[in-house]
C-alpha cells in the first residue's frame, strides 16, 4: 500500500503533466505499483479535482494489455480491466453527431470507440445481467480521446489506472432511449453488433479499424456488470448510482490521431447513428 503522502505526490505530478502536456517516466519503473496502489492515486486525484470544482458524473471502463505496446494487437490474449472517473469537464455531447476536439497539450492522443450507457436507477448489490439491463435509461455511441503521459504508450495496467485511466475527453452521440423490450435482449444484440472506424485527411479516406461488441467480456453489458461488482469491493469509492454515465470498453484498438483528421464511425446490426470527430 502506498502512503497517503506518496499517493498525493503521484497525483499532483500526473495532474501537472496533464496541464503542461508533458511526459513522465512510468510510475511502476521506480518502484513496484499494484492496482490497489493505483486506485489510491486515483482516489487522491478525485479528491483534488472535486476540491477544484469539478463534478464526477460517471465512469469509463477500459482494458489494458498486460504489457502495453505502441501497436496494440486485437488478438492479444490477456487484458486487465480497469475503470476511472468521468467529470463534467471531460464529457460533451455531439450536436448532430459531429464534434471538434483540440489536440493542444494532448499527450500522444488516440481515439477509441465506445458504447455509453446512462443508469436510470441504482443497481442492487447482487444484481444479475438482466437486472443491470433493466437499470439502463439510454445508450449512445461515443468517441473517447485517450492520452498517455508515458513515452511510446508503454505502461503497466497500474500506470494506466493512476493516469486518469488515460481519459481526456468523451464525446457522446445522440442517445437512444431503451424500452423494456429492447432491454430484454440487449446483451445478445450488442454481442452480435459490429462497428467500422474510418479516417479522412487531405481529401483521402479509408477504413482504419473494425470491431465487435463481444470483443471484450462478451458484451458492453457484461463489462458494466463487472464494473458494478468490482466497485462493491472498493470501499474507497462510491458504488454505481442512478444518473451516472458509463463508457464501456473500446470496440476497436486505440489509434493515433493528428490535427486535420476527421474520424467517422458506423454501426452494423445496431440502431445507433455513427459519429464524426474532427481534430484541430
Whether the Cβ atoms of residue 223 and residue 230 lie closer than 8 Å to each other: no
- From CA 213, how far away is CA 252, in angstroms rounded? 9
13 and 6 Cβ atoms separated by less than 8 Å: no
Enter the pTM of the model. 0.92
Query: For 8-51, how does the pLDDT look when each residue is reduced to its tens digit (9 = 90+)?
Result: 999 999 999 999 999 999 998 877 899 999 999 999 999 999 99
- CATH architecture observed for domain 4-279: Alpha-Beta Complex (3.90)
As a whole number of angstroms, the distance between CA 145 and CA 170 comes to 6
Residues 6 or more apart in contact with residue 63 via CB below 8 angstroms: 79, 80, 81, 82, 216, 249, 250
The burial of 54, by beta-carbon neighbours within 10 Å (0-12 exposed, 13-18 middle, 19 or more buried), is given as middle
* Per-residue model confidence as pLDDT tens digits over 209-263: 999 999 878 899 999 999 999 999 999 999 999 999 999 999 999 999 999 999 9
pLDDT at 67: 44
Amino acid at each position: 500500500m502506498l502512503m497517503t503522502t506518496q499517493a498525493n505526490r503521484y497525483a499532483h505530478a500526473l495532474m501537472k503533466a496533464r496541464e503542461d502536456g508533458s511526459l513522465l517516466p512510468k510510475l511502476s519503473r521506480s518502484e513496484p505499483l499494484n492496482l490497489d496502489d493505483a486506485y489510491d492515486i486515483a482516489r487522491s486525484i478525485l479528491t483534488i479535482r472535486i476540491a477544484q470544482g469539478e463534478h464526477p458524473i460517471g465512469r469509463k471502463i477500459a482494458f489494458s494489455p498486460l504489457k502495453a505496446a505502441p501497436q496494440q494487437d486485437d488478438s492479444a490474449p490477456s487484458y486487465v480491466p480497469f475503470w476511472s472517473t468521468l467529470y463534467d469537464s471531460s464529457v460533451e455531447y455531439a450536436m448532430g453527431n459531429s464534434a471538434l476536439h483540440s489536440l493542444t497539450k494532448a499527450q500522444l492522443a488516440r481515439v477509441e470507440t465506445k458504447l455509453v450507457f446512462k443508469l436510470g436507477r441504482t443497481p442492487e448489490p447482487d444484481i444479475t445481467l438482466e437486472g443491470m439491463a433493466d437499470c439502463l435509461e439510454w445508450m449512445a455511441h461515443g468517441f473517447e480521446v485517450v492520452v498517455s503521459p508515458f513515452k511510446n504508450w508503454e505502461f503497466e495496467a497500474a500506470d494506466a489506472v493512476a493516469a486518469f485511466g488515460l481519459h481526456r475527453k468523451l464525446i457522446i452521440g445522440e442517445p437512444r432511449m431503451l424500452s423494456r423490450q429492447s432491454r430484454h435482449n440487449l446483451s445478445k444484440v450488442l454481442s452480435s453488433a459490429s462497428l467500422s472506424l474510418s479516417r479522412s485527411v487531405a481529401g483521402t479516406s479509408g477504413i482504419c479499424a473494425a470491431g465487435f461488441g463481444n470483443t471484450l467480456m462478451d458484451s458492453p453489458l457484461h463489462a458494466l456488470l463487472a464494473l458494478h461488482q468490482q466497485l462493491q469491493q472498493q470501499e474507497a469509492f462510491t458504488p454505481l448510482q442512478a444518473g451516472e454515465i458509463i463508457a464501456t470498453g473500446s470496440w476497436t484498438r486505440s489509434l493515433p490521431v493528428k490535427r486535420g483528421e476527421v474520424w467517422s464511425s458506423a454501426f452494423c446490426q445496431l440502431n445507433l447513428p455513427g459519429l464524426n470527430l474532427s481534430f484541430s
